[in-house]
Chains A and B, each alone.
Chain A
Amino acid sequence: KAGVTQTPRYLIKTRGQQVTLSCSPISGHRSVSWYQQTPGQGLQFLFEYFSETQRNKGNFPGRFSGRQFSNSRSEMNVSTLELGDSALYLCASSLRIMNTEAFFGQGTRLTVV
């Protein structure tokens, strides 16, 4: 079956702009989590959605938000982009909210200039 699909794969934005990233989980998976990967910090948890509700949130400013649709697809939005938001954004899906064996997408590489 198809894996986790993230679009777009690459994105270049200007400081101050906003961006929306998309994630389609594995069919049947209802939990979607988002992570930010930067060279010095590893993978940092952003938030998790399950059944269209945010269930967990990491330590990121309010400029980072997300949502989940009834078909479990999820979007992540970053407003007022800063240079430091440049990173690989990874989406992970799992069957249940207990995300112990999450399946990751290839990520969206965001560059803010």
Chain B
Amino acid sequence: DQQVKQNSPSLSVQEGRISILNCDYTNSMFDYFLWYKKYPAEGPTFLISISSIKDKNEDGRFTVFLNKSAKHLSLHIVPSQPGDSAVYFCAASARNSGTASKLTFGTGTRLQVTL
């Protein structure tokens, strides 16, 4: 049972345009969400996170939006740059359930930013 879903395995965006990566979750106990970026042959690196008490968090070119009622979050990258080409993983945690340390990951979306 995939509790965190990234339904788009890949996305291609032109340099300078907006990249929107989507993530859906089913477990209502999740209260903290994170995005990780992964280059080939490297481990995932933390990008940005959001708590369930917020609906938006922004860090430079990266903004994460959370819609709790729809159990949906999205990562916006504006403007997209070629160096953003990587696999992006959405992850969720249930911090108040005593299993805060367990991150549940989606299957990833491969973003390709073209010139």
Contact = CB atoms under 8 A, between A and B. Distances in A.
Interface in B23-50: 32, 34, 36, 41-46, 49
Contacts of B56: none
Contact of B34 (A41, A101, A103): A101
B102 interface: yes
A80 B93 CA distance: 31
B42 A42 contact: no
Interface string B88-106: 0101010100011111111
Interface string A48-68: 101000011010000000000
Nearest to B5: A42
Interface in B63-114: 89, 91, 93, 95, 99-108
Contacts, number: 68
A106 interface: yes
Given A41-B107, A42-B108, A101-B34, A90 B44 contact: yes
Contacts of A102: 46, 103
Contacts of A50: 101
Contact of B101 (A4, A43, A55, A104): A55
A99 B106 CA distance: 17
A58 B102 CA distance: 8
A45 B108 CA distance: 15
Given A43-B89, A48-B101, A100-B34, A105 B107 contact: no
A84 to B, nearest CB: 17
A40 B5 CA distance: 12
Given A90-B43, A100-B32, A45 B103 contact: yes
A104 B95 CA distance: 19
B46 A103 contact: yes
A104 B100 CA distance: 17
Contact of A106 (B36, B42, B93): B42
Interface of B: 32, 34, 36, 41-46, 49, 89, 91, 93, 95, 99-108
